Amino acid sequence: MRHMGAGLAIPDFPLAFGRLVPPLETSAVVVHFLHRLGALAVTLCVGWLMARILRQYRAKKRLLRPALLLAGLVLLQLTLGALTIWTRRAVLPMTAHVAVGAAVLATSVVIALRAVRLTAAPAAVPGQGFLSGRVVSSC
């Protein structure tokens, strides 16, 4: 967004030039609109993730806490994105939007790592491999 100067290529929010889909006549407008579609995709994915964690892993605080944090960060991120446009890219909301985006990414990585650990197959018996039932010695 920033490197292409697309931050205000669509100057209104929540609509885009008063429409749901803007006229995609310039690359800056296309990039900005794709940014908004990406935000929608992230929001839907985080909603799905929250529903799944609440349904299946509610008791697993190591997943629930960062998932709740992630949901809050995404809501904050959407608000900061809107403020960035409404204030015509004022420094504070624009900088906070970038910082919270990084926090969303970091929190997502934490959830992914914890989920892998939680759902991974039990560790193999030490000194035994799993290929074709053969024993593989460890060094």
Report the alpha-carbon distance of residue 57 to residue 62 in Å, rounded.
Answer: 9
| pLDDT tens by residue, 109-127 | 999 999 999 888 666 556 5
pLDDT tens digits, one per residue of 29-85: 999 999 999 999 999 999 999 999 999 999 999 999 999 999 999 999 999 999 999
Could you write out the DSSP letters of every residue in 101-138?
Answer: HHHHHHHHHHHHHHHHHHHSPPPPPTT---STT-----
Burial class (CB in 10 A: 0-12, 13-18, 19+), 35: middle
Q: pLDDT confidence of 136, banded at 50, 70, 90?
A: very low
